């Protein structure tokens, strides 16, 4: 096996369990290797670090799959890892829908698998994982006997690994318009053309967290996607709900979802640019009891973090201005480069500028099928905050 030897001084990150090894952390590579090959990583003094897959073309040259020397990286290895991840989800109470594999958090770096009951959507986001895709599909077939498997590898990060953007069936073709259940409600999921894998499973528990504050409320939701938060609000007794999203396709699905749950008389949706509309609404003096914000990630690169923070401040400031005195702001951030403490500080600054006092109702992360691994910062990515907002 090819041996990858690390520099003498290695980042504590690697020692502490982080599976990524950057190209500039490697001292030398002994033997010929091709992208996707399994390699053994050693310290400068020949101590075993782990086994992983290599991609000389990627900045993340090796991603470790195991730190157990006797492990063999083969089909059975992937099956065991998937079984382990499923056992963990079941232990936490998941039965139908869940993120089955959350990449690094399940010791399967760069692999995402979402389980929508009998349907599976996967993403192999590195060359090494792409090589093992047939083994992963085989394991899913053996463990779950699914009705269908689909790949949503139409994501730009694949290009950093020298992989094309593709999507398609990994099973016999099936109808990719499915319906899932969440918190007692039903939602259409478009596996083929929806965003990411089709549905944002990570907000499941957070959607439930709005239950009491939306009762009899006039609710505004921006960045609604297929209307999940808004339909929860209607279900939990809101008087009126307006959801905004820039995507016509998402809004069409949101309307279908409202009808599917018999809530179309309460939950309405509009295809608009939320940044513009929030601004206009503030100018017009519109007021709501609850404002919900769940924008897309504002940045994926360190260079533009400050811009992302400014973006969060701005929309949250607007959200607060749109609230009646004593209303509730429900605000999310999925940008993993904006850590939880920075997000909270940003909300604090927005409140200061808006001359509002805030009282925290709850501060949560993503649902537990997206485990947070301590020391793996990018697994702690979703911030979800509810605050009561009052005039100062």
- Nearest approach, Cβ of 28 to ligand SAH (angstroms)? 44
Q: Which helix H or strand E contains 144, and what residues bound it?
A: helix 133-144
Q: Which helix H or strand E contains 235, and what residues bound it?
A: helix 228-235
φ, ψ dihedrals at 263, nearest 5°: -120, 15
Other C-beta atoms lying within 10 Å of the C-beta of residue 104? 20
- Say what angle helices 305-321 and 274-284 make with each other, to 10 degrees: 40
Beta strands in 266-343 (DSSP E): 267-271, 288-293, 323-333
- Nearest approach, Cβ of 269 to ligand SAH (angstroms)? 11
Pick the closer one to ligand SAH by CB: 15 or 179: 179
- Nearest approach, Cβ of 226 to ligand SAH (angstroms)? 6
Rg (CA), the chain: 23
Q: For the residues of 112-142, what is the DSSP string, one character each?
A: EEEEETTEEEEEE-SHHHHHTHHHHHHHHHH
Residues 158, 163, 169, 170, Cα dihedral to 10°: -100
Pick the closer one to ligand SAH by CB: 250 or 354: 250
* Burial bucket for residue 255 (CB in 10 Å: 0-12, 13-18, 19+): middle
Pick the closer one to ligand SAH by CB: 54 or 241: 241
Q: Which residues contact 12 (CB under 8 A, 6 or more apart)?
A: none
Pick the closer one to ligand SAH by CB: 35 or 214: 214
Closest CA to 57 of 31, 72, 37, 73: 37
Q: Which helix H or strand E contains 307, and what residues bound it?
A: helix 305-321
Pick the closer one to ligand SAH by CB: 20 or 269: 269
Pick the closer one to ligand SAH by CB: 182 or 289: 182
Interface positions with ligand SAH (CB under 6 A): 195, 200, 203, 223-226, 228-229, 244-247, 250, 273-275, 294-296
- Nearest approach, Cβ of 318 to ligand SAH (angstroms)? 12
- Nearest approach, Cβ of 104 to ligand SAH (angstroms)? 22
- Nearest approach, Cβ of 298 to ligand SAH (angstroms)? 10
Pick the closer one to ligand SAH by CB: 190 or 294: 294
- Nearest approach, Cβ of 62 to ligand SAH (angstroms)? 32
């Amino acid at each position: 096996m090819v041996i990858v030897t690390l520099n003498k001084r290695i980042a504590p990150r690697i020692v502490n369990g982080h599976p990524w090894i950057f190209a500039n952390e490697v001292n030398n590579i002994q033997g010929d290797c091709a992208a996707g090959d399994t390699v053994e990583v050693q310290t400068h003094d020949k101590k075993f670090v782990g086994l992983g897959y290599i991609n000389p073309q990627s900045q993340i040259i090796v991603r470790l799959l195991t730190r157990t020397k006797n492990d063999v990286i083969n089909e059975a290895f992937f099956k065991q890892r998937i079984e382990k991840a499923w056992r963990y989800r079941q232990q936490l109470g998941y039965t139908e829908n869940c993120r089955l594999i959350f990449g690094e958090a399940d010791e399967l770096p760069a692999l995402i698998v979402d389980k929508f009951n009998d349907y599976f959507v996967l993403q192999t986001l590195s060359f090494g994982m792409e090589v093992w895709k047939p083994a992963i599909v085989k394991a899913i077939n053996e463990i779950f006997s699914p009705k269908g498997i689909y790949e949503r590898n139409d994501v730009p990060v694949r290009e950093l690994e020298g992989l094309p953007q593709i999507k398609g069936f990994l099973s016999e073709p099936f109808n990719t318009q499915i319906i899932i259940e969440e918190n007692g409600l039903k939602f259409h999921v478009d596996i083929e053309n929806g965003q990411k894998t089709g549905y944002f499973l990570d907000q499941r528990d957070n959607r439930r967290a709005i239950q009491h504050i939306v009762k009899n409320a006039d609710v505004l939701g921006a960045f609604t996607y297929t209307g999940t938060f808004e339909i929860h609000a209607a279900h939990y007794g809101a008087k009126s709900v307006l959801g905004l999203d820039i995507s016509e396709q998402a809004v069409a699905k949101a309307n279908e979802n409202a009808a599917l749950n018999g809530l179309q008389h309460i939950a309405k949706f509009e295809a608009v640019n939320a940044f513009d509309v929030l601004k206009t609404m503030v100018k017009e003096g519109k007021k709501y009891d609850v404002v919900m914000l769940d924008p897309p990630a504002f940045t994926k690169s360190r260079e533009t973090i400050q811009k992302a923070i400014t973006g969060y401040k701005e929309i949250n400031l607007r959200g607060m201005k749109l609230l009646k005195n004593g209303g509730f702001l429900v605000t999310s951030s999925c940008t993993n480069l904006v850590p939880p403490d920075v997000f909270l500080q940003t909300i604090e600054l927005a409140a200061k500028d808006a001359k509002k006092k805030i009282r925290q109702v709850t501060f949560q992360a993503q649902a537990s099928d997206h485990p947070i691994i301590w020391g793996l910062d990018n697994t702690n990515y979703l911030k979800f905050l509810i605050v009561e907002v009052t005039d100062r």
